[in-house]
Amino acid sequence: MKARWVEGNRVQLLENGEQFFPAVFESIRAARSEVIIETFILFEDKVGWQLHGELVNAARRGVEVDVMVDGFGSPDLGRKFIDDLVAAGVRLRTFDPGRRILGIRFGVLRRMHRKLVIVDGATAFVGGINFSADHLADFGPGAKQDYAASVQGPIVGDIRRFAVNVITRSDGRRPVDRSSATGQQGPAAALFVTRDNVEHHNDIERHYRAAIRSARKSILIANAYFFPGYLLLRELRRAARRGVEVRLVLQGEPDMPIVKTAASLLYDHLQRDGVCIHEYCKRPLHGKVAVIDDEWSTVGSSNLDPLSLSLNLEANLVIRDSVFAAQLRSRLDTLVEHDCKRVDRPASSGFGLWESLRSAVVFHFLRRFARWATLLPLHTPKLVPARRIGAEDSAENTHAG
Please state whether beta strands 296-300 and 314-320 pair in parallel, antiparallel, or not at all (unpaired).
antiparallel
Judge whether 134 counts as a catalytic residue.
Answer: no
Q: Which of 288, 305, 339, 399 is catalytic?
A: 288
Q: Which of 66, 96, 120, 134 is catalytic?
A: 120
Maximum Cα interatomic distance, the chain, rounded to a whole number of Å: 69
Give the integer Cα–Cα distance in Å for 64 and 62.
6
Q: Which amino acid is located at 67 in the chain?
A: V
3-state secondary structure string across 58-99: HHHCCCEEEEEEECCCCCCCCHHHHHHHHHHCCEEEEECCCC
Q: Which of 286, 305, 339, 399 is catalytic?
A: 286
Phi, psi values for residue 153, rounded to 5°: 135, -175
Judge whether 288 counts as a catalytic residue.
Answer: yes
Q: Which of 113, 144, 278, 399 is catalytic?
A: 113
Q: Which of 56, 81, 67 is nearest to 397 (CA)?
A: 81
Q: Which of 52, 66, 115, 134 is catalytic?
A: 115
**For residue 323, how many other CB atoms are within 10 A of its CB?**
14
Judge whether 260 counts as a catalytic residue.
Answer: no
Range list of β-strands (E), 109-172:
116-119, 123-127, 147-152
Helix H or strand E encompassing 8: strand 6-15
Q: Which amino acid is located at 340 in the chain?
A: C
Task: Give the torsion sign (CA, 368, 227, 314, 100).
Answer: positive
Give the integer Cα–Cα distance in Å for 48 and 81.
9
Distances (CA, A) of 294 to 4, 147, 198, 241, 334: 21, 19, 34, 20, 17
Judge whether 113 counts as a catalytic residue.
Answer: yes
Give the integer Cα–Cα distance in Å for 276 and 342.
8
Q: Which of 293, 305, 321, 339 is catalytic?
A: 293
Phi, psi values for residue 221, rounded to 5°: -120, 125
Active site residues: 113, 115, 120, 286, 288, 293
